[in-house]
Amino acid sequence: MHLFISWLQATQSSLLSLLVLSLVLSSCDRVSERMEITQTRDISTYEAKPKLHAYPQERFGDERLRWETPAGWGQAERSQMRPVNLTFGPNKEGECYLAMLPGGAGGVLANVNRWRKQMAQPEITEEELAKLPQKTLMGIPGVFVTVDGAYTNVGAPEAKPDQRLQGIVASLGEAGLFVKMVGPKALVEANTAAFDEFVASLKLRTQQQ
Amino acid sequence: MSAQPTSLLGKAFAILSSYGLAIGILSFLLIDTFLGTITQKDIGLLDSQRIYFDSWWLIHDVNLGGTLIPLPLPGGGLLMVILFFNMLCGAVIRMRKGWRTIGNLISHLAIMFMLAAGFVSFLYKTEGAMPLFEGQASDQYQSYHERTIEVHRYDAAGKGDDKALIIPMKHFADLDPGKARTFFAKDLPFEIQVTGYQRNANIVQAEESEKTAIDGYRVQPVKNAKEDEGNVSALEITVKLKDTPEQKAILWERAQEPFTVKVGDISYAISLSRMKWKLPFAIRLNDFVRELHPGTMKAKKFTSHVTKISSDGKEEPKVVTMNVPVRDQGYVVYQASFSEGSSGEQSVFTVVTNPSDQWPLWSCVAVAIGLIITFLGHLVRFLRRPLKVKTT
Amino acid sequence: MKSFILVLSLLAGSLFAQLPDPALLRDKDIVATFQSLPIQEGGRIKPLDTYARFLLLRLHGKQSIAVEHPQLPNVTKLKAIEWLLLSWFRPDIARDLPLFVVDNSQAVGEIGVDPKSLRDRYSWNEIVKGKEELIKRAQSYGELESDQLTGVQRNVIDLARNFFDYDAVSDFMTAARTDWPKEISTILPPELAKDMAGASGVWDLAVKLGNLIRDQEKMTALGEEPRAKLLELFINTTLRPGKTLAFIPPDDAKNDTWLQIEQTVTTLMKEGKLPESELRISKAKDALYTASLKAETFGVAAKAFVSDVRAAADKRGELKHVDREVSYHKNDHFTYALVWYLLGFLVAFISLVAPKTSLAKWSARIAWVSILLAVGYNVWGITQRCIINERPPIATLYETILFITGVVAIVGLFIERFTRQGIGLVVAGFVGALGMFAANRFMALDARDTMPTLEAVLITNFWLATHVTCINIGYAGAMLGSITSMVYVFYRLFARGELVIESRRLLTRIVYGIVCFGVLFALVGTVLGGIWANDSWGRFWGWDPKENGALMIVLMGLIILHARLGGYILEIGLHALSLLLGAVTLFSWFGVNQLGVGLHSYGFTAGISLALNTGYSV
């Protein structure tokens, strides 16, 4: 009997300490302001590889535009003015971008002449414009412009010689839609097929998801 | 045992093993259950479970004629722990052992075992979803509720490491806007400061003038969904790399791609996502069959014909259907639901691993046996007594 | 002038001479024949009788309709199937009958129809006057969230649904009544109409029209207006009424969806052909109408039609329980059970208030017989349902009422067998009558087939047999304990004397025993439920409302047992807690379903507060 009681007391005390312990344990897992990352997880071979260096628009599914970047081309920083901004050439000397002007673009002729001016070429007339080849850009009919000359970029101090500008000017009412490609003449010529491929791949994503 | 206990421990034991304590605990548990049930209408299941059942204590606001009166109550977790020890002391240690009490002993031990099963599953159970399109295979499942921040390293060739660093939800879920915490790891060349956790949020384009915008976006908090599965969380991070300016980014659970930090040739993909676990085998969905009651849209049966692919490449066909899960290597795969999208039918499985998976079954059998023994004994005595009254 | 008279007499002829005799539609043999026609509805094969009953219950609030109509001399009441046949073959009469029950007469006023008193009934002919307004209102209310609707708005939506459902049902035979050559000749230009000549019924016409529809050129030449008129004619006479009933077993044995006229007629138009049996049964439906014009042909045609469908169903193995279901509804076991329970209760009550007399002895014997009979009806009804559904007794809320009532009555009889105080009889009779009454009210309020097909997760006979049965026996125990405690309260308040103290002591022991019984089943049933959940969803316990409800019963039961063992409660305490257990049981039985069940829990909520108040008042 004595044995039983002592066993009982032992059990009681161990039980109590257990109870106390469990209460203490729950509150000791405090977070400090600096913490080391200790946990890891195994990556599954079935997991799809994410796209690295994605733009915020892509990450947040806010991508209204969809396109395929032609092989060998790179991406440059995009902006409100240039929602698609690509580069090409061994030293990224060529650039190709999509620009959109929601209103006040000033019509097709004005824009074509703006480009010609950048290439230090004389303005053309309405009749000459009508003779230019046609190309559609994202389903909107536009004119295909090719201008050779010395290129002065907006804000650039001096002109680069022996350049070619080619692009499409499309307009829908007041709004203007442009694809412009500029670079050394030979390089642009070599990338004309890629340009067409890029233009064909441009799509406006329907608002879903 | 009849003597009054004098020592402190003795008194404590007397209380711990008393009927009074049992009644008190059961009553509070009843109250918690009732409150936790009716509040589900407003706050959803997960939150009410956390507040009322997984907790040590809680405060319930009683609505008395429009004014809310805070009523402190012991939480379900605390009650169940005390109940366990109450049964241990009262029904196992203190109870007279004999044939008359054997049924009681069995049923109480069985209930204790069931509580233990609950405790084990509370600690060690993982549960998640595995959605698969027909033809698709996977060997991982993701949590319904637990979020993590993941950092995955890619080398110059774009090849990812076998493991990713993860920060569990409990280390950042408390970081409301204004609170921040910095995380570091010895393999990581930068530190990550986390702030502004939102349980349910959208990412919206910021106005140009907004100072707090990151990359032209900001986090817009949204009212919590009724069921936690519907919440899409978001937070802000600042990546601090020595000798370079800080980089800020928004992480969002529904982001399609991770945020990437480049250090030399090495890229680090950082994302906020549901906790993922890996299975020791993979499952490929071959065919999903949805049967309806004829002439209606009411489901009769969901069946998934799958192939289990072992790590050694061995393939084995299995069938998962409602009420009949597949149990394998400690994992259980259930047919949970399905979705029908433009890209075909998607079967959703629930994958669970729980060390105490089958304990309740054994416990149930024992409880039933124990109670039957006890109550049959009562019944026999009950039936005998009126006869005695009549004969005397 | 001459031709006008001719037309008039023709019209009169078609109105008076060429309509089926309504008396024929109540002919015993004909009614019995149609009752046993197998049809498919809600995913299962059932007799037309069941369809008629629940259609009438939904529209009218009862399974029969009281009538007073000059064309129905000496008839005061129509059975559901008779009403359905009248609606099919004589819609001109059926549309006069006060059919649609409207809870709030304001709903009728809203659509410009003269309102009668509360919960009154309106005929098709009355409602049709406000048809346009009904559509407009129902559509605009339908756009609101259902929890924002007022009672009247809900009534308007229900009325609209019921009205248009019945409108289509009453047009079921319209295609057979239509003079197709005439209708077509008013729509199509003469040369096209000539092509259609010789097509007497809709089925010949459908083939010919199908050819026309597939001919793009002719269709374009036809122009917008005739095309629209043609479509309208088909919708009104054939397609819309044809959607009301799936009675054509598909020829393809693998296809388990029975066909409606709407489907067979469109298939015939689209493809120009139809499997022979499908076309035969489709045509036979219209031939029924022609046959119904003469007494000597109707019976034969009806028999031939129904046995044709039955044979096809039988070949598919789908006729098994159709006749049993007809007799299940006809025999109405639960109403008989209600009567016998009630009688038993009243007689047993006499023996309780006048104990130890020969009157008591005899009334106890009568009560025994009466309640045994009632239990017999109760159990037999449940058994019939099990056979028809091919599953264990409980899968719906309605069935829990039937089952729990039966269990309480049986356990009550057992208690009586051992205690012989009349208490068991009183309780069994009381709960039995109350339960059967509640089941009946529940069915009327729900107004849907009480044998629905089940959700996928419930289709498992093993768990329905174990967990569901167990937990409902637990509910029954808790309810029985609670009712017995009410008897105790009754004794305490109204009875005096030596014997009463003994009875009270006995009641206390009975309640304790029943609570033990209830806890055993509730606990095991709850844990079994967890095991089922673990097998179907991957978690043993999820704190879901239904689970919590069961847990609360178990907890309350355990509190009672431990409080009793610990000596914290004696008589009064035990009964008070037992009443509380009853309230908890009602909460988890009906309360947690409140959102899903809506209004139906109202009566039971009153019960809860009653039980609670009784508990407090002790």
Q: Does the pLDDT of residue C586 top 70, yes or no?
A: yes
Residue C266 tokens, joined: 């469109």
* Residue A50 lies inside a defined structural domain of this protein: no
pLDDT digits (tens, 9 = 90+) for B309-322: 998 989 999 999 98
How confident is the model at residue A30, as a pLDDT? 44
How confident is the model at residue A208, as a pLDDT? 39
* Average pLDDT, integer, range C338-363: 87
Domain enclosing residue A79, as ranges: 56-204
pLDDT winner (highest mean) among A168-182, C558-572, C581-595 = C558-572
Q: Does the pLDDT of residue C285 top 80, yes or no?
A: yes
Q: Establish if B168 touches chain A: CB-CB under 8 angstroms.
A: yes
Which chain A residues have any C-beta within 8 angstroms of a chain B C-beta? 8-9, 11-13, 15-16, 19, 22-23, 26, 29, 31, 33-47, 49-54, 56, 58-62
Beta bridge partners of B130: B349
Domains contained in chain A, number: 1
How confident is the model at residue C427, as a pLDDT? 92
Chain A residue closest in CA terms to B92: A8
Q: Report how far residue C309's alpha carbon sits from residue C315's, in angstroms, rounded to the nearest whole number.
A: 10
Q: Report how far residue C379's alpha carbon sits from residue C383's, in angstroms, rounded to the nearest whole number.
A: 6
How confident is the model at residue B342, as a pLDDT? 63
Contact B81 A42 (CB under 8 A): no
Q: Does the pLDDT of residue C354 top 90, yes or no?
A: no
* Contact residues on chain A for B162, CB-CB shorter than 8 A: 42-43
Q: Does the pLDDT of residue C2 top 70, yes or no?
A: no
How many Cβ atoms are within 10 Å of A151's Cβ, its own excluded?
21
* Residue A130 lies inside a defined structural domain of this protein: yes
Beta bridge partners of B339: B346
Q: Report how far residue C307's alpha carbon sits from residue C309's, in angstroms, rounded to the nearest whole number.
A: 5
Q: Report how far residue C244's alpha carbon sits from residue C66's, in angstroms, rounded to the nearest whole number.
A: 24
Whether C109 contacts C159, CB under 8 Å: no
Compute the count of residue pairs across chains A and B with CB atoms less than 8 Å apart.
138
pLDDT band at A104 (very low <50, low <70, confident <90, very high): low
> Phi and psi at residue C214, in whole multiples of 5°?
-75, -15
How large a percentage of chain C has pLDDT more than 90? 57
Of C257, C519, C565, the CB nearest to B19: C565
Q: How far is CA B292 from CA A158, C44, C247, in A?
A: 74, 11, 19
Contact A35 B282 (CB under 8 A): no
pLDDT band at A102 (very low <50, low <70, confident <90, very high): low
- What is the SS3 assignment for C460? coil
Q: What is the DSSP letter of B162?
A: S
pLDDT digits (tens, 9 = 90+) for C374-405: 999 999 999 999 999 999 999 988 999 999 99
Q: Does the pLDDT of residue C435 top 80, yes or no?
A: yes
Contact B167 A39 (CB under 8 A): yes
- What is the SS3 assignment for C362? helix
Q: Report how far residue C431's alpha carbon sits from residue C477's, in angstroms, rounded to the nearest whole number.
A: 12
* Contact residues on chain B for A16, CB-CB shorter than 8 A: 9, 12
Q: Establish if B233 touches chain A: CB-CB under 8 angstroms.
A: no
How confident is the model at residue B3, as a pLDDT? 54
How confident is the model at residue B5, as a pLDDT? 63
Q: Does the pLDDT of residue C431 top 90, yes or no?
A: yes
Q: Establish if C595 touches chain B: CB-CB under 8 angstroms.
A: yes
- Range name among A29-33, B146-150, B372-376, C60-64 with the lowest pLDDT average: A29-33
> Phi and psi at residue A153, in whole multiples of 5°?
-75, 160
Contact A37 B174 (CB under 8 A): no
How many Cβ atoms are within 10 Å of B363's Cβ, its own excluded?
25
Distant-in-sequence, close-in-space partners of B42: CB < 8 Å, separation ≥ 6? none
Of C530, C548, C563, the CB nearest to B33: C548
Q: Establish if B49 touches chain C: CB-CB under 8 angstroms.
A: yes
pLDDT band at C204 (very low <50, low <70, confident <90, very high): confident
Beta bridge partners of B238: B193, B248
| Enclosing H/E stretch for C577 | helix C571-589
What is the sign of the dihedral through the CA atoms of B288, B292, B294 and B296?
negative
Chain B residue closest in CA terms to C513: B379
> Residues 300-359, chain B: which have Cβ within 8 Å of C?
300-302, 322-325, 332, 334, 336, 350-352, 357
pLDDT digits (tens, 9 = 90+) for A126-145: 888 888 898 888 888 889 99
Q: Do chains B and A touch (3 or more CB pairs under 8 A)?
A: yes
* Residue A73 lies inside a defined structural domain of this protein: yes
pLDDT band at A111 (very low <50, low <70, confident <90, very high): confident
Compute mean pLDDT per 10 residues along chain B, 392 residues long, and list them: 69 90 95 89 84 91 84 93 93 84 91 93 91 92 94 92 94 90 92 94 74 82 84 93 88 92 92 94 93 88 94 93 89 87 80 91 91 85 60 35
Q: Burial code of A70-88, b = ≥16 C-beta within 10 A, e = fewer?
A: beebeeeebeeebbbbbbb
* Residue A3 lies inside a defined structural domain of this protein: no
* Residue A37 lies inside a defined structural domain of this protein: no
Q: Establish if C493 touches chain B: CB-CB under 8 angstroms.
A: no
Q: Does the pLDDT of residue C43 top 80, yes or no?
A: yes
How confident is the model at residue C544, as a pLDDT? 85
Residue B317 tokens, joined: 């066909």
- Range name among A9-23, B258-272, C267-281 with the lowest pLDDT average: A9-23
* Contact residues on chain B for A13, CB-CB shorter than 8 A: 9
Residue B199 tokens, joined: 């349980």
Q: What is the DSSP letter of C13?
A: I
Q: Report how far residue C463's alpha carbon sits from residue C454's, in angstroms, rounded to the nearest whole number.
A: 13
Q: Report how far residue B261's alpha carbon sits from residue B269's, in angstroms, rounded to the nearest whole number.
A: 7
> Residues 347-376, chain B: which have Cβ within 8 Å of A?
none
Contact B256 A54 (CB under 8 A): yes
pLDDT digits (tens, 9 = 90+) for C441-450: 989 888 889 9
Query: Domain segments of chain B: what residues?
Result: 8-124, 126-139+278-353, 142-276
How confident is the model at residue C600, as a pLDDT? 30
Mean pLDDT of chain C: 87
pLDDT band at C578 (very low <50, low <70, confident <90, very high): very high
Q: Does the pLDDT of residue A179 top 80, yes or no?
A: yes
| Alpha-helical segments (H) within C13-47 | 28-35
> Residues 443-462, chain C: which have Cβ within 8 Å of B?
453, 455-457, 459-460
Q: Report how far residue A164's alpha carbon sits from residue A181's, in angstroms, rounded to the nearest whole number.
A: 8
Residue A106 vs residue B189, higher pLDDT? B189
How confident is the model at residue A145, as a pLDDT? 92
Whether C347 contacts C367, CB under 8 Å: yes
Helices C180-187 and C224-234 pack at an angle, to 10 degrees, of: 160
pLDDT digits (tens, 9 = 90+) for C92-124: 999 999 999 998 888 898 898 888 888 889 999
CATH code of residue A108: 3.40.1000.10
Residue A204 vs residue C237, higher pLDDT? C237
Whether B319 contacts B304, CB under 8 Å: yes
pLDDT band at A25 (very low <50, low <70, confident <90, very high): very low
Beta strands at A34-36 and B180-184: parallel, antiparallel or unpaired: parallel
How confident is the model at residue A168, as a pLDDT? 92
Q: Does the pLDDT of residue C259 top 80, yes or no?
A: yes
Q: Does the pLDDT of residue C553 top 50, yes or no?
A: yes
Chain B residue closest in CA terms to C254: B294
How confident is the model at residue C314, as a pLDDT? 95
- What is the SS3 assignment for B139? strand
Q: Does the pLDDT of residue A31 top 50, yes or no?
A: no
How many Cβ atoms are within 10 Å of C204's Cβ, its own excluded?
15
